[in-house]
Amino acid sequence: MKNENRARTRMTRRQMAGAILASAAAAQTPPSTPSSPAAELQAAREQNQSIAETLAKVDVPIEAEPAFHFTA
C-alpha cells in the first residue's frame, strides 16, 4: 500500500516544469495598454498575483526538490 501511494505522487523535474509552465501560460492574460505608469504597475502586480495563485495550486512532492547544500 505504501509503495502504491509513492508511485502515484512521484513526479520528475521535467514533469514538474511542464506542469508549472502550463499553469503559468494558462494564467497569463493578453496585455492591455495602460494609460499611465501607475496603471502599468498595478497591471503587473495583478498579473504576478494571478500567476502566484495558479502556481500555488500545483503540488510539488519533496522528491522533486533538488538536493543542494551551502558552502562558505
Q: Report pLDDT for 46.
A: 93
The per-residue pLDDT for range 32-61, each reduced to its tens digit, is 666 788 888 998 999 999 988 888 888 877
Other Cβ atoms less than 10 A from the Cβ of 40: the count is 14
The three state secondary structure string of the chain is CHHHHHHHHCCCHHHHHHHHHHHHHHHCCCCCCCCCHHHHHHHHHHHHHHHHHHHHCCCCCHHHCCCCCCCC
pTM: 0.42
Q: What is the pLDDT of residue 1?
A: 47
- Please tell me which residue, 9 or 53, carries the higher pLDDT value: 53
Say if residue 2's pLDDT is above 70: no
